[in-house]
Amino acid sequence: MTSPRVVELRKNVMNRHDRKAALLRRYFESTETCVINLVSSPGTGKTELLTEVLRSMVGRGISAAALVGDCATDNDAKRLEASGAPVRQIVTEGLCHLEVTMIDQHVQGWDLNGIDFLFIENVGNLVCPSAFDLGETLRVVLLSVTEGEDKPLKYPQMFNSADLALITKMDLSEPCEFDLATTQDNIETVSPGITILETSARHPNSVNALVDHLIESRVKLLETTSPETTSPETTSPETTSPETTSPETTSPETLSTA
Ligand SMILES: Nc1nc2c(ncn2[C@@H]2O[C@H](COP(=O)(O)OP(=O)(O)OP(=O)(O)O)[C@@H](O)[C@H]2O)c(=O)[nH]1
Ligand SMILES: [Mg+2]
């Protein structure tokens, strides 16, 4: 008796999240901000690579900012700030993924009209973040050479919900005896046609190639979307501070009880 009811409640909550994400996506389109949600296992190199991407963008005069999610610390925000780009930390207090209400809350006060790229570093987790639309323009999944070639097959939803796949830490591929061709095949199996780029935060050329790819993607997306003047429907009247902030009312319980 209880099982079907729980499923139905979860569906309602997810619909609410999806509606909110759709509103936020329209707002991002209206400001011509390309929002990129980075998802991967813990330790794949999201922060390291993003720091270099932001540094490269700042150096080229491109306006970029970042939101970063973490269960318990603001370590990653401190690292990302070294790039010179504006950064805000979202501490999820144990929640294993970011949710759209947190993004909505944490962009308050930023004039997105002046921001071409907003990166969101999700909480390191190869399962849950795939189920939560944050209103992003592009979802980018990262897989490092140290994790094993089979991960796309074991976590297909993370790969088939992404728009771009990055194989990271390529500078370590030899000592890790990494099999690039098998990994590419595995990604292609679960996400046919997806673009796959090889990167290393230690190799500026690969960082620059990634930045070039993102700039081209934004240009193409701007050509296909018609901006409207839309404001985000805020979930809370309070404007969040730029510093470390706790998630709003979002908690693991929300999904099963709301
Ligand atoms: N050799 C090498 N090491 C890297 C590279 N990218 C990241 N690392 C190292 O890998 C470790 C984890 O990198 P992070 O950037 O913290 O990974 P993350 O995905 O942000 O981790 P979480 O935020 O905990 O999910 C750090 O010690 C980095 O210095 C790379 O391209 N090459
Ligand atoms: Mg990180």
- The ligand 1 site (C-beta within 6 Å) comprises 40, 42-49, 76, 124, 168-169, 171-172, 200-202
Ligand 1 nearest atom to the CA of residue 49, by list position: 6
Structure tokens at 24: 């936020």
Closest Cα to residue 66, out of 46, 94, 41? 46
pLDDT of residue 256: 26
Of all protein residues, the one whose alpha carbon is nearest to atom 6 of ligand 1 is: 45
CA distance 95 to 106: 16
CA distance 165 to 162: 7
Of all protein residues, the one whose alpha carbon is nearest to atom 29 of ligand 1 is: 48
Q: What is the pLDDT along the chain (258 residues), one digit of tens a residue?
A: 556 666 666 666 678 899 999 999 999 999 999 999 999 999 999 999 999 999 999 999 999 999 999 999 999 999 999 999 999 999 999 999 999 999 999 999 999 999 999 999 999 999 999 999 999 999 999 999 999 999 999 999 999 999 999 999 999 999 999 999 999 999 999 999 999 999 999 999 999 999 999 999 999 999 988 655 444 444 433 333 333 333 333 332 222 222
CA distance 69 to 96: 9
Structure tokens at 46: 């999201």
pLDDT of residue 226: 63
CA distance 111 to 173: 40
Predicted TM-score of the model (pTM): 0.87
Q: Does domain 34-225 correspond to CATH entry 3.40.50.300?
A: yes
Distance 73 CA to ligand 2 centre (A): 10
Structure tokens at 179: 């099999």
b/e code 23-52 from CB counts within 10 Å (16+ = b) = bbbbbbbbbebbbbbbbbbeebbbbbbbbb
Of all protein residues, the one whose alpha carbon is nearest to atom 14 of ligand 1 is: 45
Q: How far apart are the first and last CA of the chain?
A: 18
Instruction: Give φ, ψ of 211 to 5 degrees.
Output: -60, -45
Of all protein residues, the one whose alpha carbon is nearest to atom 3 of ligand 1 is: 169
Q: State which of 47, 51, 70, 75 you would mutate to test the pocket of ligand 1, scoring each by most atoms of that ligand within 8 A of its C-beta.
A: 47
Distance 184 CA to ligand 2 centre (A): 24
pLDDT of residue 7: 62
Residue range 173-231, pLDDT digits in tens: 999 999 999 999 999 999 999 999 999 999 999 999 999 999 999 999 999 886 554 44
Distance 226 CA to ligand 2 centre (A): 33
CA 170 to chain centre: 21
CA distance 232 to 138: 18
| Helical axes 2-30 vs 100-107, angle rounded to 10° | 30
Distance 80 CA to ligand 1 centre (A): 12
pLDDT of residue 91: 96
Of all protein residues, the one whose alpha carbon is nearest to atom 24 of ligand 1 is: 42
Q: Angle 32-33-34 (CA atoms, 0-180°, nearest 5)? A: 115
